[in-house]
Amino acid sequence: MLRAAPAGEVLRSAPVRPRRGEPDLFADPMPARIEPCLALLKPKPPEGPDWLFEVKWDGYRLAIHRDAGGVRVITRGGFDWTPRFPAISAAAVELDAGSFILDGEAVVLDESGRADFGLLQQALGGRGGRLHAERAMLFAFDLLYLDGHDLTRMALSERRQMLEGLLAGETGAIRLSEEVEAAGAELLAHACKIGLEGIIAKRRDAPYRSGRGGDWLKIKCIQADTFLIIGYEPSSVALGGIGRLLLAAKGNYGLTYAGSVGTGFTVDSATALRRQLDRIKAQSPPVRMARKGVVWVRPKLAAEIAYRGWTHDDKLRHASFKGLREKADEAQVYRLGG
């Protein structure tokens, strides 16, 4: 049985079986990391047979590497989080392949079967936490490497077929993110009705290209993006003593105030957040603004915020706090006008 790879050890591909005693000179070396393909935000789904559709999962993007040396769980930012996802690592050991790289999203499901980012953060112990997320599972949506062969040059439809074969019948901590046979607009309407974050559209014939090139699109029911916390309004009655968080986005000339959020907290999350904020207090605001009664902080903490839209002066509407983003997750801070 395979063992988990020691932290810091670079994985190499399992050797492909030699033919008649000779080494296979055509095997592709297993890359230590592949920069992920990212989805481009669009207001509505594309149409036509060239696109396939999946549910948009609300969690942490991960790549699962396995070869003869063991399993490694790599975050979007390139950090090794193998110890923090023991159930996913154990499930990867049991898959019927010598070496592979899976691309997917780690989630924790709520009682209704919906991915809940807040529950995932709790399972990991919050930002900077060191808990093992036993409840987390991976919904795999791509296969980038398999048994000595680089699959990234292949069309998505071919990679999906191989992924489906690898994960056939899997119902544990690694599962297939199913393609949904429906028109994009119909699927989006249903996803929004049952409270999902949105859907993903992908070009069937596209190879796997790193970055946000447009081969993958995301269409959201409710906007959710990452903003930096720049301060808070203290309250003697609010959870954790936080009345509202003040948020910033990236602008053309540095950080720009993007509004505030005062909902979405729990007693535990607000209390833990207040402790973290009080350790990074600042003497002056990180953005050009003046407001009384605010405790300013250095812009070190990135928060995932759900919201319904923007006001005419570029402030968030109906914002709700979902949790803190880890540096290892490397979610992109929202850019105004971008």
The Cβ-side half-sphere exposure at 172, using a 13 Å CA radius, reads: 14
> Is 56 labeled as catalytic in the residue annotation?
yes
- The one catalytic residue in 42, 44, 56, 202 is 56
- State both tokens at 109: 């499901």
Backbone torsions φ then ψ of 92, nearest 5 degrees: -65, -35
Residue type, 54: E
Q: For 108-212, where are the E strands, in sequence order?
A: 137-146, 149-150, 174-176, 198-203
Least Cα distance to 55 among 136, 126, 139, 132 occurs for: 139
Q: For the chain, where are the E strands, in sequence order?
A: 40-41, 51-55, 60-67, 70-75, 100-107, 137-146, 149-150, 174-176, 198-203, 216-220, 223-234, 242-251, 254-261, 295-296, 302-307, 309-310, 316-317, 320-325
Least Cα distance to 332 among 45, 31, 36, 63 occurs for: 36
Only one residue has tokens 């049952």, namely 194
Per the DSSP assignment, residues forming a β-bridge with 275 are none
Least Cα distance to 71 among 87, 93, 86 occurs for: 93
Residues acting as catalytic residues: 56
